[in-house]
Amino acid sequence: MQASPVEAFVAALKARRSIAEKLMIVVAHPDDETLGIGAQLCRFEDLLIVHATDGAPRDMHDAARYGFARLEDYATARRGELASALTAGGAPHARTLRFDIPDQEACRDLADLTRRIADLLSSEQPRAVFTHPYEGGHPDHDACAFAVHTASQLVGDQAAPAIIEMALYHRRRGEVAYGDFLPAEQPVTMLPLNEDEVCRKRRMIDAFTTQRWLLASFPLDCERLRRAPKYDFRQPPHPGALHYETLGWDVTGAEWRSVAAAALAKLGLAELRCL
């Protein structure tokens, strides 16, 4: 029996082989691709990395913390950090695209975000898209998961790619779990990193100088992937408080799900019980 695209790509990565097929990564912020599969990026020969946001929250708290007086300067710095990280990771050839959405606001217009991703799927025709799971860790992460899944519905079976998830973070038993998934039926593939890969990923993480306080919490010894499960984005990803609800941001899980339901209706997908 022929292996599925997900199985084939995961097997290639486990064997540390290069992948020539066209791939996309759709993530929320500069550094998410590094945290998720940074050690693997050098193996992707034809890669487009899409960032839904500019990585600069409008409230200026993060920008001011690092001495930036203007929001656009902070966003530019984060873009420069990304370029440095890709070079450090042996992936300067990767193409990048950043949408004009402020950090923490990717969920404000999920229908538009979905259409933009659908346009890319139609024009790029990637064999697979690596993205976030729907786990309530960050509203922008969940927005990317929503956009990739719903965009795949819009483009139809002919253009729909395989969807592969990367483990980042979520809330579990009152604490933040880094580098792992919420439980699902899909098996998780572990990609243990050898000494050279750990060093390469550490150099990539070190390039994100404005994010070191956050990135230090992530493990460096392993990266985890899985085929995306089906989600109903109108339901919470897990019981209890979502991680971003504990951070005092201007969005709750209930508000996010209300926006998601409205976007599904706007996109003509409201009748789908599970995506």
Q: Where are the beta strands (DSSP E) in the chain?
A: 19-27, 44-57, 95-103, 128-131, 162-166, 169-172, 175-178, 189-192, 222-227
Work out how many domains the chain is built from and give that number. 1
N-terminal to C-terminal alpha carbon distance within the chain: 26
Range of the domain at 232: 5-266
Task: In whole angstroms, give the CA distance from residue 208 to residue 34.
Answer: 10
Question: What does each of the 275 residues of the chain score in pLDDT, given as a tens digit?
Answer: 456 888 899 999 999 999 999 999 999 999 999 999 999 999 999 999 999 999 998 998 888 888 899 999 999 999 999 999 999 999 999 999 999 899 999 999 999 999 999 999 999 999 999 999 999 999 999 999 999 999 999 998 777 899 999 999 999 989 999 999 999 999 999 999 999 999 999 999 999 999 988 899 999 999 999 999 999 999 999 999 999 999 999 999 999 999 999 999 999 997 765 56
Alpha-carbon 177 to chain mean position: 16
Residue 275 lies in a domain: no
In a domain, 271, yes or no: no
Is 273 within the bounds of a domain?
no
CA dihedral 212, 43, 16, 219 (to 10 degrees): 10
Residue 192 sits in a domain of what CATH number?
A: 3.40.50.10320
